[in-house]
Structure 1
Amino acid sequence: MAMDEAAFAELTQAFSSAALDPSQWRPAMSKLADALGAVGCALELSDLTSGEAVIDNTAQLDGDLARLYEDRIFAINPRIRRAVPLRLGAIADDASLVDRDDPANGEFFDWLSRTPYYYLIGGKILAQDGAVGFLTANFSQAHGMATAEHHKVFAALTPHLINTMSAARAITRRSLRGEALTLEALGTERAFAFLSADGRLVEASVGFEALLRAQDTLRLRQGELTADRPGERRMVETFLAAAVGRRSPLAPPAPIRLRGTQGVRGLVLRAAPLAPRHDAYDIFRPAALLTLTDLDQPHRVRRGDLESLFGLTEREAEIAARLVEGATLERIAAALEISEHTVRQHLKSVFGKVGVTRQAELVAVVARLV
């Protein structure tokens, strides 16, 4: 099996679409499976804190086998135990993920022998905020294990998949399922924007535009971001060039911090490349995604998220959000015109619904949603 440059560019473009629309993961995985001669490809995402897992495989199991996997096999899968500790970007196959001589793996291999796939190769594409994710290709028993060519494809593709996942999570609320992952997200307060292949802003969220107007560090001139301070201008130019792959395709540049004159801590600019340079784009195919964070602004917790995710009441969500934003119980009580005792009673209910026992734990959980 060999893959030429044009075929690889088509694959990366297909996965780039998934950064904006999660429904495109499956078509992209089907393209990859066809290119590799695999039975199917799978995207597996897990939250190690909550235990939530999302698994989408283009090769479907029948009902009984799928239920057995969910009820029993997932918990004893030796591949998962060995894959979770791997570094981000690692590539692995069955040679390193399973020990076929270990009798403890017998039940797993008995189940596997009844599925359409048997061997696996995959890359770790997510390791962020307690969540891990893998994209794998699965081969039949007749096909045999992954080859050196399969490893080459995954080695080239995995950095791109990491960027795609990073971009997707920057746009959404960072949930595993990526709700509302469409261009409608541009109307949100999250500060992100898309770059064209020549480094110009082609789209920006409401939050990004508002942050640009509110600070004196970055400016938009003729569609290009630039720094006001001469000493930082070159830093921004180098960063944007790396973001769109002018130096190393698909290698995300390290984030940069810009100081300006108003704030003490400054702005943090991050980027996630979305496609190789010189790739074939449709009318709108961004080359990179930018996120902008003002370190001098207190983060704002979305009350509606707390209500929908944890079932909090409006008052409980307001108290939890204010606590995470740095207010003391005394200040919360004064602002809401209730007693501290009432605030503590509401917090007790919040703890039960969120699944924590202390204020520090609540802050740690809610802060991950910001």
Structure 2
Amino acid sequence: MPQKIANQFLEAAIEPARWLDVLQRVAQQTQSKHAQIIGVGPSFSFGFNWVNDMDASAHAAADRAELMAPTINFRVAAGATRPPQTISWEDDYAALRPSLADQSYLDLCSDLDIPFGCQTNLLVEDDGLIGFALLRAHRNGPTDAETRAMFARVCASAGAAVALQVALERESYKLVAGSFEAMNLACFVLDRTMSVRAISRGADALLADGTLRLADGRVAAPSLAVQRRLTAAMATIGERRAGAASVAAPTPAGVLMLKVHRLPDREWNMGFAPFAILIAKRPPAADSADAAFLRETYGLTASEAEIALLLRLGRTRAQICTARAITGETLRSHLRSLFGKLGVRRETEAIHLLHALLS
């Protein structure tokens, strides 16, 4: 059995939709109700839960973030204190139960009839752990020495498969960054904590010239006001409250639009694949040739030239403030200077002149 299951585990790492098949085989061979691969994210957040022969209603009851705390879940508590490939079993669970904060996970085990079993950690890292377990019903009874020995023999194969899939998921950060590099776009590829894991050359250039920076592994803006908006946008994406969010970041070279997009969920993702991307791009309004003409001919600053181009495009003052991430008072100050340099007194006169100059 071990060699056949070892091959099935490695096949699952390459074709993750096959995980349930190999878990089914492990459960059958160990005469258990279920075999399980579970991911626990940072701070014991819920990652994923793959269990053979578990229906949707049982998953809905089990797959809840509040049940992942080690003060609630004796299995998570056992995993949090053991190094990889160390087996915990019913004796360990019994020792932990008296210290649980409440009965919610014990009630779940009773409802799903999974009071017994054994487990090990296949991977333990700062950004989470992946556990492997047998879940046994009353009719299966507690694990015995022979069952735990059989479980131990397949743990190495399961660990190798998990390590392979995690490595493949992590390699995809570079693939995503490379794709955006081919499109000549500045791209930061983010993990589920919104930390940067790969960047394109364009993104590297923005870091090198100080337009953006990294703080604790995350993209940060030099301006405190922009940073607050960027942090809020990142939280919106990280908490899955939206699929995309944008922030305008004024820079000496003009506005830089920071657009964060959550990538599509992958059903058999262990949590180490790219979660989101941040694209940094100058808005189309900042046409370089027209802006250069206005700067050279009328002595406009980069900010004034961009505001002039936005006016020519028919943007309202409110829209310009949003695009430039500035207040109404700041915009009025720019417009006074802009009108003086163009030799006009009103906004409508400026727009007519700009159409005539740039048509």
TM-score normalized with structure 2 length = 0.50
1:48 maps to 2:42: yes
Matched with 2:168 is 171
1:327 maps to 2:208: yes
Aligned-partner Cα distance in 2 for 1:95–1:341: 52
- 1:22-171 to structure 2, matched below 5 A, reads 22-49=16-43, 51-60=45-54, 63=57, 66-67=60-61, 70=64, 73-75=67-69, 76-99=72-95, 102=98, 104=100, 106-171=103-168
Task: Spell out, residue by residue over 1:69-92, the C-alpha distance to the aligned partner (whole angstroms, 9 max, x if none).
Answer: 627544411221231231122211
Aligned-partner Cα distance in 2 for 1:29–1:106: 28
Aligned-partner Cα distance in 1 for 2:23–2:105: 25
Q: Which runs of 5+ in 2 are unaligned?
A: 179-184, 214-219, 239-271, 275-359
Tell me how far 1:16 sits from its aligned partner. Answer: 0.5
Aligned-partner Cα distance in 1 for 2:221–2:106: 56
1:14 maps to 2:14: no
Tell me how far 1:50 sits from its aligned partner. Answer: 8.0
The 8 Å contact of residues 49 and 63 in structure 2, kept in 1 or not, is answered as: no
Tell me how far 1:29 sits from its aligned partner. Answer: 0.3
Tell me how far 1:152 sits from its aligned partner. Answer: 1.4
Tell me how far 1:15 sits from its aligned partner. Answer: 0.5
Matched with 1:352 is 232
Count how many residue pairs are aligned between Structure 1 and Structure 2. 222
Cα distance 1:155–1:304, how it changes in 2: closer, same or farther (>3 A)? same
Tell me how far 1:167 sits from its aligned partner. Answer: 1.2
Aligned-partner Cα distance in 2 for 1:145–1:10: 26
The 8 Å contact of residues 119 and 146 in structure 1, kept in 2 or not, is answered as: yes
Q: CA RMSD in A?
A: 4.4
Q: Which runs of 5+ in 1 are unaligned?
A: 1-6, 175-184, 192-300, 333-339, 357-367
Task: Work out which of the two has the higher radius of gyration on C-alpha atoms and give 1 or 2.
Answer: 2
Cα distance 1:166–1:159, how it changes in 2: closer, same or farther (>3 A)? same
Aligned-partner Cα distance in 2 for 1:77–1:50: 11
Matched with 1:288 is none
Tell me how far 1:134 sits from its aligned partner. Answer: 0.6
TM-score normalized with structure 1 length = 0.49
Cα distance 1:352–1:16, how it changes in 2: closer, same or farther (>3 A)? same
Aligned sequence identity (%): 12
Structure number having the greater helix percentage: 2
Cα distance 1:143–1:330, how it changes in 2: closer, same or farther (>3 A)? closer
Cα distance 1:341–1:27, how it changes in 2: closer, same or farther (>3 A)? closer
Task: Spell out, residue by residue over 1:81-125, the C-alpha distance to the aligned partner (whole angstroms, 9 max, x if none).
Answer: 231231122211121133387285644333322213221111211
The 8 Å contact of residues 26 and 35 in structure 2, kept in 1 or not, is answered as: yes
Task: Spell out, residue by residue over 1:230-261, the C-alpha distance to the aligned partner (whole angstroms, 9 max, x if none).
Answer: xxxxxxxxxxxxxxxxxxxxxxxxxxxxxxxx
Aligned-partner Cα distance in 1 for 2:35–2:130: 13
SS of the residue aligned with 2:123? strand
Aligned-partner Cα distance in 1 for 2:170–2:74: 31
Tell me how far 1:53 sits from its aligned partner. Answer: 1.7
The 8 Å contact of residues 89 and 125 in structure 1, kept in 2 or not, is answered as: yes
1:303 maps to 2:187: yes
